[in-house]
Structure 1
Amino acid sequence: MMVEKINQLSLHNIHLPGSTPQKETELAQGMVRVNHLYRSALKIAVAQMEILDEEFATLNDRSPIHHIEYRIKTLDSIVEKLQRRGHEVTIDNIYAYVQDVAGIRIICNYLDDIYYLRSLLTRNESFRVIQEVDYIKTPKPSGYRSLHLIVEVPIVISEGTLHLPVEIQLRTIAMDMWASLEHELRYKSSRAFSDADAKRLRLCSEAVFEVDREMQNIYKGKQAEYEEQEPAGEDAKE
């Protein structure tokens, strides 16, 4: 299943402190091209994921992909990220310093599925992995777990071939549940978020990871039982 997180590009609402109307107009015009190019790269990357998903489901009766979400980063988020990192808000700096303008989140069933998909992506001749951060083996202090890849995706435009970065996040269903609720509690909830809350969420993250490992072990056990029974079934037919 493919889910697009639709973000509206509100160019007419661009207001940068200390900037001139001309600069804001130039940024708005440049963002039209940025949006088009990164959306094109996103389409190519999503199409490849969809092809893999259909292949697994058709030929193997099971796909490691539970579902896929994808989005283009909002203009507000792009501006906030550049300013937080001390960069001027320009079109050139978006290309240079924001590698997650286009993003894909792949939700997997089991832990092993994540690393299997990673192996497929890293040896894909069309995509070049330029960065990898494994927050599963080394979680963030908050308890966040996910495998992050930045891949360069080639797109063919009128001026030639352009390579743009696309961020791919791989996580299990359980990790995605934790991340979604953690974000809701920390940033969206009207209640105050305390240090005690943060500690409890880290404990929840550990518990969720234990569930992931146990589910993986159960699945492996079922697979082993199936493989042991398969030859007997063939002999019985003979």
Structure 2
Amino acid sequence: MRDELRRFLMEYQFAVDEMLTKVAILRDEFVYLHRHNPIEHVNSRVKSVDSLLNKAARRQLPVDLPSIREGITDIAGIRITCAFTSDAYRVLDSLTSQRDVQVLTIKDYIANPKPNGYRSLHAVVSVPVFLSTGPVDVTVELQLRTVAMDFWASAEHKIFYKFAGRVPAGLVDELAEAAAIAADLDRRMEELHIEVHGTTGPDDPDLEIDDAVLGYFLNNR
């Protein structure tokens, strides 16, 4: 079974490689054509066999590949960190608009933060991976957030790990306050960006944010 799972996880690594290529092309295009790079950092991962089996057990899934494929959508993940909130929406729109990328779900935790203050864009997409035996549709979870959001999420994760999930109430309140401060920083930096460059990227009238695009993500989360 472990050998089958390793072979199974290769498909997810190939899907990550496919999406990373799309991200790299997008970033290079923005730099070359628009002189504006909305992507600051990119990280990716594919769950290990042990991590995958543990999650399947927690969800009480049958230990077979079809059940795992259907029941766990974050086996492969890519996190894209952007400078501005508008960039996160722009990059997600650019990726999900590609013809071979099928959008399965979108959750907008920027417009509607989680109770603990967490903010990010989450999307589960499916991309075809072409193997010797034929194409396979593989899911990848995308997370897009600003630098401030990413810093907060990383710190929050470390604190919860330190306390094994049982974080004192005082720290929980401080984390929520810090999340609000990070959100306010994002808002202020976006305003400064707009004041300097307008609603577009530097020297590029084609980078104006489409209100219809923003409305889609706000109303279809």
TM-score, structure 2 length as denominator?
0.85
Deviations 1:43-69 (CA, angstroms, capped at 9, x unpaired):
101000000001111111221001110
| Percent identical residues | 34
Q: Which has the larger radius of gyration?
A: 1
Could you tell me which amino acid in structure 1 is paired with residue 98 of structure 2?
N
Q: Out of 77, 94, 108, which is 1:120 matched to?
A: 94
Deviations 1:124-159 (CA, angstroms, capped at 9, x unpaired):
101011111111111112211110011111111111
Q: Out of 37, 60, 66, which is 1:92 matched to?
A: 66
Distance 1:50 1:216 in 2: 24
Helix, strand or coil at the partner of 2:198: helix
Query: Matches of residues 135-174 of structure 1 in structure 2 within 5 Å?
Result: 135-174=109-148
* Higher RCO, 1 vs 2 (CA within 8 Å, ≥6 residues apart): 2
Helix, strand or coil at the partner of 2:80: strand
Contact 2:77 2:140 in 1 (8 A): yes
Q: Which residue of 2 aligns with 1:77?
A: 51
Q: Let me know the Cα RMSD of the aligned residues.
A: 2.3
Q: Out of 42, 45, 48, which is 2:19 matched to?
A: 45
Helix, strand or coil at the partner of 1:151: strand
Which segment is superposed worse, 98-107 or 183-192?
183-192
Q: Which residue of 1 aligns with 2:195?
A: 221
TM-score, structure 1 length as denominator?
0.79
Helix, strand or coil at the partner of 1:210: helix
Could you tell me which amino acid in structure 2 is paired with residue 108 of structure 1?
C
Q: Out of 111, 115, 122, which is 2:85 matched to?
A: 111
**Aligned pairs, how many?**
203
Cα 1:225–1:188 shift into 2, 3 Å = closer
Structure 2: stretches of 5+ with no match in the other structure? 204-221
Q: Which residue of 2 aligns with 1:211?
A: 185
Helix, strand or coil at the partner of 1:78: helix
